Structure 1
Amino acid sequence: MDAEAFIRAHTAIARPPLVPEVALHLATEITPIWQASEEWLRQTGIEPPFWAFAWPGGQALARLVLDGPQAVAGRRVLDFAAGCGIAAIAAVQAGAAVVEAAEIDPLAIAACRVNAALNGVALVLPRDDVVGAACRWDIILAGDVCYEAPMTAHILPWLRAMAASGAEVWLADPGRAYLPRDGLSPLGSFRVPTSLELEDRTERIVTIARLLPS
């Protein structure tokens, strides 16, 4: 079974509560998709199936983009650590000129591809890790990326460098431990319904801020 067939076989089409404009292939329960992905893990060394859920940060970014399309219209957008691709798809719907959805997990890349097709939009899917790349974007969307210390330490200097190069870097965070405490300019906040299978509560307050250069 190839990656796209795997995604279709283990998900159902759903619309996230905060962003009903976007349809996605999502897991209906966490245990079956995790078990199925573990078999793929043994075979291919892929990451756990984070792509199978519309995480609060991605939903909040998508909502902000769709509510204020003028912010991305005609611009070059990167959805960094895109997961299911919800923010990238919303950016296309809002009129962005070019939208890249960056992931390092091959299943997540495939999920972005099938979800883009489901919504009738076109995404650019880089094959290489974009961390360390020179800036080629006007806006970088980063949802829920500060959940682990090593991850944050790896990406934050690059994201700040992108901000110093002229990109707007939007961080959406639902209260993770490693969000930087300074160098942020607030853009808004959303209450996002969540599942107790994924979170420790039924709702997360997601704050969105612009990351400033060092």
Structure 2
Amino acid sequence: MYTDPELFIRANTSLTAPPHVPEIRLRLASEVHDLWLKTEEDLQEIGLPPPFWAFAWAGGQGLARYILDHPEEVRGKRVLDFASGSGLVAIAARLAGASEVVAADIDPWAETAIRLNAVENGVEIGFVGEDLIGRPLDADVLLAGDVFYDRDFANALVSWFGTIAAEGKRVLVGDPGRSYRPTERLEALATYEVPVTRVLEDSEVKKTTVWRFR
């Protein structure tokens, strides 16, 4: 069993360019099914969640693409990438000219994945491992990819995102049609056809929209 996150990540991932964001290289699972099973057997014994940090999810790829194509959204601003996972969106924001980027994720191994990925892309990313939902946003822009997959989690985010948006701060979300997406609170900014892994999704391409939370 691996207990050192860096050793585990290096042993079970390979440097890969996500298909929709080829400018960025990430340490991603080369054998998706095998890694998922391995983490269920190894990491869950020490209380860690599945390795969401090892995959470039459709919502994150779409949001990262949008940020790289529209750098004015983050240029010179302080950015929080919520539920960062691999750090894909955080890295895109830094490459697009954000003055400061903090990645937030409650999985402690995500911190190591994000650090390794940031180094590969020549950027500096901060990290916070606490649950930030409901707290004041110490940033100008909040980015979130693929977060509306669970009903209770989505409900908590709608309340939090709404409060942040009401303060005049920008909240941008990438979503490939997850079940609990609050469409009535969202304004579409761009839509992409994002290649994904069929093992994790129900297709090889996911229609993914980047939204502004109203």
Tell whether the structures are fold-level matches, with TM greater than 0.5.
Answer: yes
What TM-score does the superposition give when structure 2 sets the normalisation length?
A: 0.95
1:102 aligns with 2:92: no
The residue number in structure 2 matching 1:148 is 150
SS in 1 for 2:173: strand
Residue identity over aligned pairs, in percent, reads 46
Which residue number corresponds to residue 130 of structure 1?
A: 132
State the Cα deviation string for residues 144-193 of structure 1 (Å, max 9, x = none): 10011122122221111111122111111101110013121111111101
Q: Which residue of 2 aligns with 1:51?
A: 53
Residues 1:162 and 2:164 are matched in the alignment? yes
TM superposition shift of 1:43: 3.2
8 Å CA contact 1:12, 1:27 repeated in 2: yes
Could you say what the CA RMSD is over the residues aligned between the two structures, in angstroms?
Answer: 1.2
Runs (5+) with no aligned partner, structure 2: none
Preserved contact between residue 116 and residue 122 of structure 1 (Cα < 8 Å): yes
**Kept in 2: contact 1:40–1:46 (CA 8 A):** no
* Residue deviations 1:42-64 (CA, integer Å, cap 9, x gap): 43211111111000111111111
User: Does the 8 Å CA contact 1:3/1:107 hold for their aligned counterparts?
Assistant: yes
C-alpha separation in 1, matches of 2:84 and 2:178? 17
Asked whether the equivalents of residues 9 and 113 of structure 2 are also in contact (C-alpha less than 8 Å), the reply is yes
Q: SS in structure 1 opposite 2:126?
A: coil
Corresponding position: 1:195 with 2:197:
yes
* Map of 2:90 onto structure 1: 88
Q: In the TM superposition, what are the counterparts of 1:106-121 in structure 2 within 5 Å?
A: 106-121=108-123
Please name the residue that 1:30 is paired with.
32
The answer to whether the 8 Å contact 1:163/1:169 transfers is yes
- Is 1:10 aligned with 2:12? yes
Report the residue type matching 2:19 in the other structure.
P
Q: Assess if the C-alpha contact under 8 Å between 2:107 and 2:129 holds in 1.
A: no
- Counterpart of 1:68 (choices 67, 70, 93) is 70
How many residues are treated as equivalent by the alignment? Answer: 212
Higher mean displacement: 182-191 or 53-62: 182-191
User: 1:16 & 1:204 partners in 2: Cα distance?
Assistant: 14
Is 1:77 paired with 2:79? yes
Which residue of structure 2 aligns with residue 175 of structure 1?
177
1:176-214 Cα deviation digits (max 9, x unpaired): 1100131211111111011211111111110111101xx
CA distance in structure 2 between the aligned counterparts of 1:42 and 1:86, rounded to whole angstroms: 24
In structure 1, C-alpha distance between the alignment counterparts of 2:182 and 2:44, rounded to whole Å: 35
Letter matched to residue 192 of structure 1: V
DSSP 3-state at the match of 1:199: coil
**What one-letter code is carried by the residue in structure 2 that aligns with 1:3?**
P
Question: CA 1:97/1:39 → structure 2, altered by over 3 Å: closer, same or farther?
Answer: same
1:206 aligned counterpart, secondary structure: strand
